[in-house]
Structures are given as C-alpha cells and as structure tokens.
Structure 1
Amino acid sequence: MSGISVAFGGVSALSDVSLTVEPGQVHGLIGPNGAGKTTLFNVACGLVRPSAGRITWRGRELRRLRPSQLSKLGISRTLQGVGLFAGLTVLENVMVGAHRHAKAGFVSALLALPTADKDDRLLRERAHAALAELDAEGYADRYPGSLPYPVQKRVALARALVADPDLLLLDEPASGLSEDEMHELGELIRSLSARMSVLLVEHHMDLVMRVCDRITVLDSGEQIAAGTPAEVQADPLVTEAYLGDAVDVEADAAELARTDGGTHA
C-alpha cells in the first residue's frame, strides 16, 4: 500500500501511509488508540476504499478491491472477533475457508455429482489438517458457541490458514488469550513465515517485538516510524506516542518493550 489516505465525513483517518509486506515476512502494524490501524487493515481487506493511494499485489495494482476477491488473490484474513458461523460445526466453519480449492461448481454441488463429492472429501481433509495444526481437531463436531473464546480464536485462525494463502492478515489475534496461549501463538506466527507472509495488527507489544521482522507505527492517522523491532523501540517518536512526552529515550524504549499493551489498541 502506497500513499494511502482515508477520510470519513471530512475527517482524516489516514494521511499518506505506505506499507510493504515482503515475501516470507511478518510485518507488524502498531499504534496507540485512534492511530488508524484498523482503517489501514480494512483498506488492505477491501472493506474501506482509500481516497488516495495505490494497493499493489504481485506487481499489479488492485483497483476497487473487494473482500470477495481476497481468496482468489491468495489472501486470507481474520477479524478482531472470531466471526464464526453459529449454525455450522467447527469443521464446517473451517471448510468454508477452503472453498478456493474447490473444483466443482455450484451446479455440481446442487445435483450431487461425483465431482462435488470428491470436492467435499478433499475440503474436509484440508479442514481436519488445519485444525490439527492448531491442536483443535478434537472440537471438529462441536458448535462454536459451546467453546471457550480462546478455542474459537484457534478455529477462526484455522479457517484462514486452510486456504493456504500467500498473505495472511491477522487482526489482533492475541486478544483474549492467556500468557501461555500468546506464547504459542507467537511460535505459530513465526513458523508460518516459512510458507506465507503475515501482516499483524496487534496491541500486545511483547508479541509484536518477538515475532515481527519489520514494524510500521501509526499515530493519529500518520506513519511516524518503520523499521526493525529494535529500530522502532529506539525511536523517540514511538515512545512519545505511547508514553506521552519523552523524557529518556532508552528508559522509554525499555518500558515499551516490557508492556503487554493492555491499555492500547
């Protein structure tokens, strides 16, 4: 995304923000409350149309990007909430995320043709494998509403991973998780970079600093810093945005690295 600007009712939400996620990279997007993180994430998802700027994917500009296009482009996303279908089982919810790999069309499924049966079997296998990767296969036949929130988060992540995307967009995946669960999530995100790129929007600073290769920092809709975790931690503009008026850069950076970001979004 380059030169992205967004205005709502004349109020600027983003101003000339640029961000590039490289292949095999975990790229963090952080900032205090009202920084514009969610707006930029929604631009990447096609939920918000920028008033200026360009979105480019694999060298091709995406004009009028829509959420329905993401799967075919090789992009998956999670939501701040879990966004699971209450009337479908866990397995069926994950199968929904694998539909880009289906070869049979709607008519074949409607008429119960052999190609549709084969598709169903393959999608189920994919869904089981995605759940197993997240240690959630034992919940396959349960309904989301009967599961603890952290398990629902794993199911939602499995639904995004089952599409085998080239780019995974994660919106606050650590919310509602315990310290141990957050550590497991960090290990998973790092392992994912071997087969896909990740754009991570998160307010838990310890997780961001541990798993990200590069970080972009927003404040009041503007990009104030970008670089490696070490470079971002040492940037006085970043510590000032999070902690108020800077007093001692080294002390502030250490505090930023220690905080779990619980009061920041």
Structure 2
Amino acid sequence: MGPLAQPTGSQLTHDSGPTARLEMTGINVAFGGVLALTDVSLVVEPGQVHGLIGPNGAGKTTLFNVACGLVRPTSGRITWRGEEMRRLRPSQLTKLGVARTLQGVGLFPGMTVLENVMVGAHRHGKAGFLSAFLALPSSDKDERLLRERAMRALTELNAERYAGRYPGSLPYPVQKRVALARALVAEPDLLLLDEPASGLAEDEMHELGELIRSVVGRMSVLLVEHHMDLVMRVCDQITVLDSGKQIAAGTPEQVQNDPAVTEAYLGDAVDAEADAAELSNVDGGRTHG
C-alpha cells in the first residue's frame, strides 16, 4: 500500500452508492464588469469523476468556487439533488453532503493533524453545544467517536503517525494527505478536489489516481487539475474551459482528440491526431490555472 492508497473494505464506505447529481447551467460570472465565465454548463453524474481543465486563466478555479459557494454567479443555475441552490454558501456544504479541498491545504495551524481531521467529521457528531459546554457524558462519548473516525481516516491514508503533529511541521505532500483525509472523513456524496496533485511526486500522484477511482463507488468527484496524465487516467467525463468559455466536453478520448483543446493548450492550430499524445503529457506553461 502506498501513502495515498485506499484499502478495500474501508470503514468509511456508505451503505449505498451515490444518488446525487450536481448540475451547473448557464453560469456567468463578472468581476467589475469583466466576464470571468460566460455561459458555462456541466453535470457531475452520480458515481463519476468529472474533470475540469483548461489553460492558465481559463476560469477553472472560478467555476470551482461557484460550486463551493465562494463565488456567487451573476446568472445561471446550480442544481444539487434536483433542488436549485439559489444562495449557496460554503457553510452549507457539509450538511448538503459535499466536501472540498482547496488549492492550498487549508489546515488549521494551531490544531493537531488529528484535530484537523476531526473538524471534517463534525457533521457525524450527535452531542450539541450545550452538552459540550456542560461537559456531559454524551459530549465525551461523541468526541471519542469522532476521534476514532478521524483516526481511521488517517490510517487509511497512511498518515496516522502524524496524528499528534502540527501541520506546519510536516512536508507539503503530507499536509495534502491530511487535507484529503479531512474531506473524506465527512463521507460526502460529492467530493470537490481543487488541484489535489500539486506538490506530489510521480508515485504519489499515481496513488492519488487510484484513490480517486476507488471512492466513486460511494461518491461523485469534481476534479480541477492541471496534470493532464492524471486527468485522462481517472476521469469519466471532462469539461474544458478557455478564457472563461466552454470549448469542449466529453470523454477523455473525445477531449484529447478535439482540435479546439489542442489549440488552446499548444497555442496553434494543430492536427488533433498528431498531437493528442503530446497533449496528455503537457504539464507547464498555459496548462496551469
């Protein structure tokens, strides 16, 4: 087992497969009169990994932030489980069954690794604030169960030995692992991953791909990533943005052979067949963003 691999028969698994569907339709975002996104739509189907890619400045992070509730679209619709989310806020995500990671790790420096992961598991807690304030037995039991749940998540990512450490004392790839454990411990129906492979070595990136594919039996994944080899390997569907507009959508093979995509990445009008292989290895220049 590598450091990011997910064992079979995880205790974090759901009793049933994912039933949720995220649909973003006609999304427009303007900052100070400048359009960052123009009429962008995508659907993350249950049990699928949906990749969101594009050159630097394409609008990937903006669309991801719309899905997280960090950016409110100027117009368009976000539908989750068949219900329109009119004023989606980040604080609602956990209750909606959505978990996310950010481009940075986003860990709390004053909390241990275990405590950071426990934050991700808080929606499974049963004791309320009053019980904790009064130090009632139910609060102690609740904290113990959350601690055990968080420890299992760390163990499954081979990070349990860091449980008592503080994030700032750990290498960046380990911090990324902890951030992922914090997202997975919530047992979401939809996992939003923003450039999870950044800072990882090649073998860790391969294990990350295996992990992403292993979770689709219990959740859907929206993946924003600039490492094309990872995207092409793990995604079922891909949406491609360029300059805030959607230029392609489809399976990895369809996207890889789309002339508009190769032109966006390589900068010139190119022959799709000749350059599809080159596109899968692009990792620099305009591929970031």
TM range (shorter): over 0.9
The equivalent of 2:278 in structure 1 is 255
1:109 counterpart (125, 129, 132): 132
User: Residues 74-153 of structure 1 correspond to what in structure 2 (within 5 A)?
Assistant: 74-153=97-176
Q: Tell me the equivalent position of 1:4.
A: 27
State the number of aligned residues.
Answer: 265
Give secondary structure in 1 for the equivalent of 2:86: coil
1:148 partner amino acid: P
Match of 1:212 in 2: 235
CA offset digits 1:203-233 (Å, max 9, x no partner) = 0000000000000000000000000000000
Q: Which moved more, 1:200-209 or 1:253-262?
A: 253-262
1:146-161 matches, cutoff 5 A: 146-161=169-184
Give the SS at the match of 2:218.
coil
2:13 is aligned to: none
* CA–CA distance in structure 1, aligned partners of residues 268 and 130 of structure 2: 62
Q: Quick check: 1:62 aligned with 2:82?
A: no
CA distance in 2, matches of 1:151, 1:7: 36
SS of aligned partner of 1:20: strand
* Cα shift at 1:239: 0.3
Within a 5 Å distance, the mapping from 1:18-29 to structure 2 comes to: 18-29=41-52
1:129-154 superposed Cα distances (whole Å, 9 cap, x missing partner): 11111110111011111110000000
Q: Which residue of structure 2 lines up, in the alignment, with residue 233 of structure 1?
A: 256
TM-score (norm 2): 0.90
Residue in 2 aligned with 1:264? 287
Equivalent-residue separation in structure 2 for 1:213 and 1:254 (angstroms): 18
Does the CA contact (< 8 Å) of 2:259 and 2:270 recur in 1?
no
Following TM superposition, the consecutive aligned residue runs of length 4 or more in structure 1 with deviations greater than 6 angstroms are none
User: Which of 176, 192, 205 is equivalent to 1:169?
Assistant: 192
Shift of the alpha carbon at 1:263?
5.3
Cα 1:242/1:263, change in 2 over 3 Å: closer
Q: In the TM superposition, what whole-angstrom CA distance separates every residue of 1:88-138 from its partner, at most 9, and x where no partner exists? A: 000000000001111111111111111111110110111011111111011
* CA-to-aligned-CA distance 1:34-63 (integer Å, 9 cap, x gap): 100000000000000001100000000011
Shift of the 116–146 alpha-carbon distance from structure 1 to 2, 3 Å rule, reads same
How much is the aligned-residue C-alpha RMSD, in angstroms?
A: 0.9
Comparing 36-45 with 129-138, greater Cα deviation is found at: 129-138
Counterpart among 175, 188, 194 of residue 211 in structure 2: 188
Superposed displacement of residue 247, structure 1:
2.6
Q: Could you tell me how far apart the structure 1 residues matched to 2:157 and 2:194 are?
A: 18
2: distance between equivalents of 1:12 and 1:26?
Answer: 27
The amino acid that maps onto 2:41 is S
Q: Distance in 1 between matches of 2:190 and 2:129?
A: 27
Separation of aligned partners in 1, 2:138 and 2:40:
46
Q: Distance in 1 between matches of 2:80 and 2:145?
A: 28
208-217 or 110-119: bigger deviation: 110-119
Q: Is 1:44 paired with 2:88?
A: no
Asked whether the 8 Å contact 1:246–1:252 carries over to 2, the reply is: no
Query: Which ranges of structure 2 fall in alignment gaps of 5 or more residues?
Result: 1-23
Unaligned runs of 5+ in 1: none
Amino acid at match of 1:40: L
Aligned-partner Cα distance in 1 for 2:283–2:264 = 16
- Report the Cα offset of residue 262 of structure 1: 6.6
The one of 200, 203, 214 aligned to 2:226: 203
Q: CA deviation at 1:261?
A: 4.5
